[in-house]
Amino acid sequence: MEEKAATRWPNKKSLVEQRTILGSQASAADGVVSASRSVAVTDVPNPVDVKPTNAALSSLTEIRSQVYGVTNYDAAISKLTGIIALKFLAVPDSSSWDEECEAVIAVLYLYLLQPRGFPSNYAKDITLAFLRRWTGDNEVADFNSIGKFIIRQNAYANFATLLLLLSNHFPSEIEAAYLESTFSWSPSWSRYVVEPPEWLYKDSPRCDLIALRKILYVSAMTLKGKSWRIEMAQEAGDMSSFFMACKYYKTGSYTEALTTIQGIDTEVSDFLKGWILWLKGLCLLHKGKPNIACHIFYKAVEMCNACIPATFNISRCFNILNKEAGELDALSLFAENGEFWKPYCNITFPVALLYLYHPPPENIACSAHFVAAARYLQCQKYDQSVKYFSSLLQKMDGTDLEHTPSKWLRPEDDLPAIPSYQQIVTLTALACFQSGDFDAALHYLSTFEVDDLKRFIFSEDQEEMVMFISFVAAYMFKMKTLHKLNKNEEALQISLRLDEGILSSQVDFIQKGSSEGQTGLEQCLLMIRTELYWTLSLLYKRNDFSPYRALALQTLNRLCDYPRPLPRWDNMSLSSKLLMDCIFLVLDFNLRDVK
């Protein structure tokens, strides 16, 4: 049964499906091919009996030339995808295997170097289309099972390279043992074509196909989170050592990571050298040496443009050393550099592999502005905080920004996610309020209504509770801002609505938690209630025996039972910790008026 499957060839159904997929993909990329183009289906001979035609070899030369042009930025990716789409509309025969296999390798290789140059999902779709063309099986979507159908006729280095490249893009979809088995295949590039394309070695660590494949293997295993054979690592060289050091760092084995780093050749590229310095600095920081780590981070940033995010780690060093001025200067520099950062400009093959492990942050300028604005607010530098928050709101343009955590960095060393747009609006308003610009604060807070709080009732998710706190704080500071602007009637209406049980029901619910983070949330709500009652006592303008004044003093006394100065916010993301620190410190500052 398996032998029969190994020699299956395309049928009408598979060709129709591939015309649909590849035609539409090409249209998206270049508009060259129509998905409705028809083709006659003929019998396809056995690959053992047929050699590639002159036309096939000419086509292979054309593909190689086009790919080389793309790698030199002299040609457009869309032209290559158009050529491939036309090729995949024709009936495949054994002489076209090499050119089609190499075309897919080219796509997977270029997708590493220029991921934004392809339509969404193009690399995966075209690989599946290629494999299905040569199996005739349109139902199977698993790379392992499809690939095994055609190994017997094509167990050569080109198909092995295809699978290794594929496993770097989609590490969870190909078994580790399957990848390792490819090293027992024929060392020849293919059945008829002896030499691999020159562009495959462009900027590669070594002009050696076996070494290149082993680098791809080690990279794929790293992305899988799996161990690899020592001999594989030795062939892969410095890249392998770096990946090994990364694994030690991720597991908290900082001494082992530093030892591994020491063994890496000093003659590596500036890019890899920058990342090595970055990793070394992180290990030293975790070993309690922030002074040394800070100097090494600076060297990494100077060495390599891709290490600009390490400026965030520099600011953390200054924070640990209690050097506020140094921390804020580093964050300001980070925000400025983030504006002009172009991580995908003319990257090389080793850089592209490392980017799979640690993709450049999508919104580094926004992340830098958020961290800078938050820390300036916490340090009571309100004008600078307003500046960065206002700029961030313009960049966000009313939308929430996605965040992809680094596969390389530990969470505490990675750039934090940017909170929701509404949460950034809240922080901006708080910074304006603290700076005394009450009109600007009211402008930002005008979008918040008490009905927004109803959707949070009985929420069990901690991040949702953080969102709830930020909304309650916004509504409470809207009340305080109106009071500051002598719009007391509006302020009174808001304060009474806040006191209508919405807040107290959430406090009772959050009290069920026992962690430090939960306690901090409860503490913030108690601080808000204190502010609420105190403002109500001022709005009613009653005597010293006002019931609201008594309630404010009662809740203020309860706050003495909580730890000082700041909660630890256990089990929260760094983003939520920064957000809650800002809200907590502003609340704490304003509670000084409660007497």
In a shared domain, residues 253 and 166: no
- Is residue 130 in a domain? yes
Instruction: Provide the domain limits for residue 507.
Output: 446-595
444-448-452 Cα angle (round to 5) = 155
In a shared domain, residues 12 and 144: yes
- Is residue 243 in a domain? yes
- Is residue 368 in a domain? no
Where residue 290 sits, what CATH number does that domain have?
Answer: 1.25.40
- Is residue 379 in a domain? no
In a shared domain, residues 136 and 284: no
- Is residue 45 in a domain? yes
Give the Cα separation of 219 and 221 in Å (integer): 5
Contact between residue 346 and residue 365 where contact means Cβ atoms under 8 Å apart: no
- Is residue 382 in a domain? no
Among 287, 304, 321, give the residue marking a domain's end: 304
In 3D, which of 6, 61, 348 has the Cα closest to residue 203?
348
In a shared domain, residues 37 and 128: yes
- pLDDT for the residue numbered 568: 81
Give the Cα separation of 12 and 10 in Å (integer): 7
- Is residue 312 in a domain? no
- pLDDT for the residue numbered 77: 84
* Helices and strands counted in the chain (H then E): 28, 0
- pLDDT for the residue numbered 445: 93
Give the Cα separation of 160 and 154 in Å (integer): 9
In a shared domain, residues 517 and 552: yes
In a shared domain, residues 12 and 102: yes
Using DSSP's 3-state secondary structure scheme, residue 124 falls into helix
In a shared domain, residues 197 and 275: no
pTM for the model:
0.79
- pLDDT for the residue numbered 556: 87
In a shared domain, residues 49 and 160: yes
Contact between residue 67 and residue 197 where contact means Cβ atoms under 8 Å apart: yes
Give the Cα separation of 271 and 262 in Å (integer): 17
- pLDDT for the residue numbered 70: 81
Among 276, 304, 332, give the residue marking a domain's end: 304
Task: Find out whether the peptide bond into 565 is cis, omega within 30 degrees of 0.
Answer: yes
> Which residue shows structure tokens 């009996």?
49
Residue 131 phi, psi (nearest 5): -65, -40
Secondary structure (DSSP) of 352-396: HHHHHHSPPPTTHHHHHHHHHHHHHHHTT-HHHHHHHHHHHHHHH
- pLDDT for the residue numbered 45: 34
Among 263, 283, 304, give the residue marking a domain's end: 304
- pLDDT for the residue numbered 482: 94
From first to last of its 595 residues, the chain has per-residue pLDDT tens of 333 333 333 333 333 343 344 444 444 443 333 222 222 223 333 333 344 455 556 778 888 888 878 877 767 788 888 888 888 888 877 778 888 898 999 999 989 888 878 887 888 889 888 888 887 766 656 777 766 666 666 788 899 999 999 999 998 888 888 888 888 888 888 888 778 888 887 666 556 788 788 888 888 888 888 877 666 655 566 778 888 888 899 999 999 999 999 888 777 788 889 999 999 999 999 999 999 999 999 999 998 888 899 999 999 999 999 999 999 999 999 998 887 777 766 677 888 888 888 888 778 899 999 999 999 999 999 999 999 999 999 999 999 998 888 888 999 999 999 999 999 999 999 999 999 999 999 999 988 876 666 666 555 677 888 888 898 899 999 999 999 999 999 998 888 887 775 555 554 445 544 455 567 888 888 899 899 888 888 888 755 557 888 888 888 888 887 776 778 888 889 999 999 999 999 999 998 877 6
- pLDDT for the residue numbered 1: 38
In a shared domain, residues 62 and 147: yes
460, with CB counted inside 10 A (0-12, 13-18, 19+), is: exposed
In a shared domain, residues 175 and 243: no
In a shared domain, residues 199 and 107: yes
Secondary structure (DSSP) of 418-476: PPPHHHHHHHHHHHHHHHT-HHHHHHHHTT--GGGGGGGTT---HHHHHHHHHHHHHHH
- pLDDT for the residue numbered 380: 96
Residue 446 phi, psi (nearest 5): -65, -20
- Is residue 102 in a domain? yes
What domain count does the chain have?
Answer: 3
Structure tokens at 469: 């706190």
In a shared domain, residues 8 and 156: yes
CB atoms under 10 Å from CB of 428, counted, come to 24
